[in-house]
Amino acid sequence: LAERCAQEGMKVVLADVEEPALRTAEERLRATGATTLGVVTDVSKETEVEKLAQTTLQTFGGVHLLCNNAGVSAGTTVWQSSLADWQWVLGVNLWGVIYGIRTFVPIMLAQESESHIVNTVSLAGMVSLPGMASYKVSKQGVITLSETLYHELKKQTAKVGVSVLFPGGVRTRLIDSARNRPTDLQNDPSLDTQTPEE
């Protein structure tokens, strides 16, 4: 997403909770001649999303495209998932999108220029097979949230569009997302029944 935006001549702000990965992505984009800025952000914390918005406005003066793309997963059965599992996954995958919308939509509306929001979900949000319930619930929630937001903005004849991105199988480190799990939401590793091969 960031590379395509840069190819289109956009100034790109990257946000990630994992600073080394963020800096690598930032350097890679800069090497192509893109104007970019990386901001370490935990999207499950509204204050950090607000700081991201402030930094973006101070640096570039506006926001015309928001991609809510952060995602984590914890895989076990519904009844074995701890409250920490649910809090962590919903905190990033659903609340992160809610915070993004609450923070950036007012900015976009005030700009009175064309802008757009892209919320990344997953085909898993449409299929209720065993495992990863918290992940699926979070993605289904984002689908409903996005559709509602679309209709609300349309009703106001706002110049803000909304899309939902449904990627299929993409090679990411989602299965290894526990590497960024906060210490206060850690879980017993023996409860995770999903292996990297799955």
**Amino acid identity, residue 3?**
E
The single residue of 88, 95, 99, 135 carrying the catalytic annotation is 135
Sign of CA dihedral 179, 46, 68, 128: positive
Tracing tokens 């952000």 back to the chain, one arrives at: 41
CA distance 180 to 177: 6
User: Are 121 and 73 contacting, i.e. CB atoms less than 8 angstroms apart?
Assistant: no
- Pull the structure tokens for residue 189: 């590793």
Say which DSSP state 52 is in: H
Distance from the Cα of residue 76 to its chain's centroid: 22
CB half-sphere exposure, 150, CA atoms < 13 A? 11
Sign of CA dihedral 121, 126, 132, 133: positive
To the query of whether residue 99 is one of the catalytic residues in this protein, the response is no
- Kindly list the catalytic residues: 135
